[in-house]
């Protein structure tokens, strides 16, 4: 099974690279046009937004709070977004794009169905470790999003579950997985992955590493799904 260190060596997800992607996706909205300055200041803005939101909630965070936290003037903030709602959209959209893209890239390198499911589980887990503040923010703020954004967040979560379900269905067609309910099994896998980034304090107190946690989730999935008769043939 791929380790967390191996994942980080293959997937470069620095704050700088994420901010460059956000700049490229929102060039028509961002008034500052010097890439280096944009990347630097977007990093400050997003880091402060996630820190403040995870402490007091996005809607309780004022732009004055953000200005102080990011070390930028109010005028400078408005050079990057026109409202808190637009800032929220930028953060949510980019996080979902990155997660979806990397999952698809990594799963696409694997042929065997059993290994594909294992890869899908650990890559999602490792992404949530690298991007833990975003994953926590995205989950906790979903209920406060405007209706359209709420729908997009729900569809994003369901698409991840559907990815697991599709792999499970393929394994069932091949006879290597038992005829378990694919959607319910996928929901349980997703719930276990969410527990890692939502309650990380619990596992830190127990000195559980991300690799050890990933092994437990994978072992559970295969213990529940594996068709031992087919595997022995």
Q: Give the pLDDT score at 174.
A: 96
Backbone CA torsion sign across 5, 190, 154, 84: negative
Residues in the chain with pLDDT < 70?
144-146, 149, 229-233
Model confidence, pTM: 0.86
Structure tokens given for 221: 């999935």
With beta carbons less than 8 A apart as the criterion, state whether 88 and 149 touch: yes
Q: Give the pLDDT score at 25.
A: 85
Domain boundaries of the chain, sorted by first residue:
4-232
Long-range contacts: 46-55, Cβ < 8 Å, 24+? 46/15, 46/18, 46/19, 46/22, 46/91, 47/15, 49/87, 49/91, 49/137, 50/91, 50/133, 50/134, 50/137, 51/133, 53/137, 53/140, 53/141, 54/133, 54/136, 54/137, 54/140
Q: Give the pLDDT score at 230.
A: 53
Q: Give the pLDDT score at 144.
A: 67
Q: Give the pLDDT score at 13.
A: 72
Fold of 4-232: Tetracycline Repressor; domain 2 (1.10.357)
């Amino acid at each position: 099974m791929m380790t967390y260190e191996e994942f980080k060596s293959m997937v470069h997800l620095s704050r700088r690279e994420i901010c460059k992607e956000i700049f490229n996706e929102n060039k028509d909205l961002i008034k500052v046009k010097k890439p280096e300055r944009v990347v630097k200041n977007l990093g400050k803005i997003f880091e402060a937004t996630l820190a403040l939101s995870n402490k007091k909630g996005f809607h309780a965070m004022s732009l004055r709070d953000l200005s102080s936290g990011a070390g930028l003037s109010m005028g400078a903030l408005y050079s990057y977004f026109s409202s808190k709602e637009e800032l929220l959209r930028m953060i949510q959209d980019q996080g979902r794009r990155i997660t979806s893209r990397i999952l698809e890239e990594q799963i696409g390198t694997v042929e065997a169905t059993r290994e594909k499911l294992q890869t899908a589980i650990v890559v999602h887990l490792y992404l949530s470790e690298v991007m833990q503040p975003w994953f926590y923010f995205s989950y906790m703020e979903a209920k406060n999003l405007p209706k359209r954004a709420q729908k997009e967040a729900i569809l994003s979560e369901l698409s991840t579950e559907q990815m697991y379900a599709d792999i499970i269905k393929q394994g069932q067609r091949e006879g290597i997985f038992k005829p378990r309910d694919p959607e319910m099994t996928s929901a349980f896998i997703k719930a276990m992955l969410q527990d890692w980034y939502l309650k990380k304090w619990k596992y830190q107190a127990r000195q559980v590493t991300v690799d050890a946690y990933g092994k437990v989730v994978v072992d559970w999935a295969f213990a529940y799904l594996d068709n031992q008769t087919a595997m022995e043939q």
